Structure 1
Amino acid sequence: MSYTRISLLLCVFGFFKEFRPSDPFSVEYFTGQWMNFTKEQVYQEIFPVGLVLATIWAFFLPPVSQSIYFHRSKTSECAEECLQSQQTIQIKAERCIDESSQTQLKIQTVKESDANRGTFGKIKNVYRSMWRDFLLAYSNPDQLKWSVWWAFATCGYFQVCNYIQFLWKNSMEESDNVYNGLAEAVLTVIVALSMFGIGKLNLNWSVVGEAVLSVFALIQGAALIVASQTQNIWCSYISYITFVALYQAMITVVSSEVAKNLSDESYGFIFGINMLVALLLQSLLAFAVTGNCVFALSIRLQYVVYGGYFMILGTVFMAMAIRIMVQQSKHGIHFKLWQPSFVAVDRN
């Protein structure tokens, strides 16, 4: 299948996946004359239960017919082992880690793969391969840095988006019209432009990544705190748009940077781990902040907590950025803000 056709299919899938015209009005539906629930019932009981049921449902999805780890022939398995060995050597060389020990590990894995021909042996080899990919990914400090931000920021992002309509409803006067759909439509356009624009920036993300992540997280935290205190619905809309646009711009960069340090076979595995951690953190946050069993905060206090959450995240990454800058200054390393541009050479 050609690259153009794959891209087109992904765009069509993304369009229909995100086409949810009723989403901006789900709270109005639950709390209005149609269902007649109270706001407290919806965000303290219905939404948390829905999150837990969705997580449980994921474990009962049917298995796929083909997968990277469980469905591959012996020939392709050996070939992939050799290819992964070469990729591993290259990655380790970049990290200044001993290459010979990793190569020996790959050779040993191939030999054990040939020796273990039974079902148990195959499963054992599968999980050994997964564990190896896990260690290769998260032993890289840059990979770990991006993944930590991914998990914690996505956790907060999901929580903010899930409950923003309650905050909007709390900020509206009786005479205000509901423009939730308009806010979401404007947000979609701004997010598309921000993702396209940040993709064009040729920044040296391995150097400035922590600083940019920290600044964006601090702005997001400030936007959420403003939204939690304002009684003006338009100010709340603008704060939400700012928050989401910054997250979507940075998750584009984070996904790209994570993928740079991965082998082709482990993309889905590592991306899935990051998302799983984010969902587990979100479940804990929702249980603590919105559930009746713990704090059961009002909607405005919830967004104060979410704002503080991103402020703390931004402060941590700011400290990391300062530490890196100090270390580079001590070692006399030149601070390179931009990646080198690749210029075509005229051979005539």
Structure 2
Amino acid sequence: MESWVKLSIWIGIFGFFKEFRPEDPYIIQYLTGPKMNFTDEQVNQIIFPVSTYTSMIELVFVFLITDWLRYKPVVVVCALSGVIVQIMLIWCRGVTAMQVMEVFYGTMSSTEVAYYTYIYAKVDPQYFQQVTSYMRASVLTGRFLSSVVSQIFLFWKIMTIDELNDLTLVGMICAFFWALGLPSVPRSLYFHREVLPAPNNGSIGVPSESTSNGVHRNGAIPSTTPKTEPPSRSCCSSSSYVLGFLWDDFKFAFTNMYVIKWSVWVAVGTCGYTQFMGYVQLLWQNVDKNMTQYNGAVEAVYTLISASAAFLFGRIALNWKVHGDCLLGVLTLVGGILVTFSAFATSMIFCYGVYIVFGTLYHIQMTVAYSEIAKNIKPDSYALVFGVNSLVSLICQTILIYTVASDQMFKLPIQSQFVVYGGSFIVVGAIYLVKSIFTYLNVYTSRRIIASKDNSS
């Protein structure tokens, strides 16, 4: 078995354990149940927003710290934060304790960047697409299995909702110990880059930057015996190199209007998706508390369908430069309409259906968006670009939460919040749909001009 496959399996198993969280489909029932006894308003306006604020603040620093520490320590912190979250959910009580718990949950979320970039520093860029698919598959497998387990255990009364937290704690402990055994990373994308061997004239080697065609950005041919950056280099010199590489990669990506178009949707779409998924159980509580016992089964179905749809769309060969705006416009518009309708729903079957369809539409769009962005940026800048998109998404999410849910602003009830979420998607979808009309008109006009030139010749 090739080394990159072994590494993919190793980090994939960590991803599986990290996402094995049987309590997640029932977290609102647990927090508002007799054991914790919080109100929906406390969960919505006081407890949940803390993790978003924490993630936004930490993500600014986590990317560079992750690269500087060479990934593994931050992966361990991610798993350890998950363990602390579960311990506090099981044994701690009170609003303040849950807010502290949400701080650690935000840390777990922000440090996930180490999980997704660890493998990029360990394997050759030619395998990035394969290892990314393996990592995504391991995450979805963990979510699917945990949802099935939670539903079966509750249906057959093997466990209660409270006891599902114990099972989740076991999964997080397994993730922590597995993370401790991850292979160390000798280099990283920015702080500990590979350097070329010193040339014959005895000059000091320089950090290498591989491109997709195997030639370094400095024009040299890659060495067969790469080395990590010399530790003797001064801190200031090293920092200037890092900032230079970061700025070059950032400028290359975000001066490309095609990358910007997809990145804007990734940031806005992820913001709306995260809000919907994070708060939808509160909406369901207002529709029918008795029906929410099937949350686990619905989560399992959603995971399976969305993974299958994303896999199929990943293999569809279309010119997304032409059809991408239409895809984003139509699917975002449909998703927004469904979310808006769910705010007024009185049927849990309809709400469950919206949950599955909306999540599937999001994953389809994300599959295409990530692929199109990756094709148009430098291979070593994946983590930077997607990290920037995540940061922008969290900023949007923070503004949204502060506006619609906080005591300082509108403090909307959960149904009204979902009208805002749905309306936002409708506006974004309409913008991309209008843009797609102009794109098709430009393509049609260009073809007419080419055809007329061919006929005249």
Whether the 8 Å CA contact 1:227–1:240 is kept in 2: the answer is no
The AA in structure 1 aligned to 2:263 is S
The AA in structure 1 aligned to 2:31 is F
Give the unaligned 5+ runs of structure 2: 71-186, 198-204, 220-232, 451-457
Identity of aligned residues (%): 38
Tell me which moved more, 263-272 or 211-220.
263-272
Q: TM-score w.r.t. structure 2 length? A: 0.63
| Alpha-carbon offset, residue 159 of structure 1 | 0.6
Higher relative contact order, structure no. (Cα contacts within 8 Å, ≥ 6 residues apart) = 1
| Alpha-carbon offset, residue 14 of structure 1 | 3.1
Whether the 8 Å CA contact 2:194–2:207 is kept in 1: the answer is no
Matched, 1:225 2:225: no
Counterpart position of 1:314: 429
| Alpha-carbon offset, residue 206 of structure 1 | 1.3
**Deviation string for 1:113-136 (max 9, x for gaps)?**
xxxx64323312221221111111
Matched, 1:132 2:248: yes
Counterpart position of 1:64: 69
422, 442, 447: which one aligns with 1:332: 447
The AA in structure 2 aligned to 1:236 is C
Q: 1:9 to 1:253 in 2, by over 3 A?
A: farther
Matched, 1:32 2:153: no
Give the unaligned 5+ runs of structure 1: 90-102, 108-116, 336-348
| Alpha-carbon offset, residue 55 of structure 1 | 3.9
356, 372, 388: which one aligns with 1:273: 388
Whether the 8 Å CA contact 1:328–1:334 is kept in 2: the answer is no
The residue correspondences of 1:16-95 to structure 2 (distance < 5 A) are 16-56=17-57, 59=61, 63-65=68-70, 66-72=187-193, 74-75=195-196, 78=206, 80-81=208-209, 83-84=210-211
The residue correspondences of 1:171-190 to structure 2 (distance < 5 A) are 171-172=287-288, 176=291, 178-190=293-305
Counterpart position of 2:285: 169
User: How many residues matched?
Assistant: 310
The AA in structure 2 aligned to 1:242 is V
Counterpart position of 1:344: none
Tell me which moved more, 202-211 or 123-132.
123-132
311, 318, 338: which one aligns with 1:203: 318
Whether the 8 Å CA contact 2:313–2:364 is kept in 1: the answer is yes
SS at match of 1:293: coil
| Alpha-carbon offset, residue 331 of structure 1 | 2.3
The AA in structure 2 aligned to 1:213 is L
Tell me which moved more, 205-214 or 176-185.
176-185
SS at match of 2:36: coil
The AA in structure 2 aligned to 1:51 is T
| Alpha-carbon offset, residue 50 of structure 1 | 3.0
Whether the 8 Å CA contact 2:193–2:208 is kept in 1: the answer is no
Q: TM-score w.r.t. structure 1 length? A: 0.81
The AA in structure 2 aligned to 1:39 is D
The AA in structure 2 aligned to 1:232 is S
**Deviation string for 1:49-73 (max 9, x for gaps)?**
2322344455477751342111135
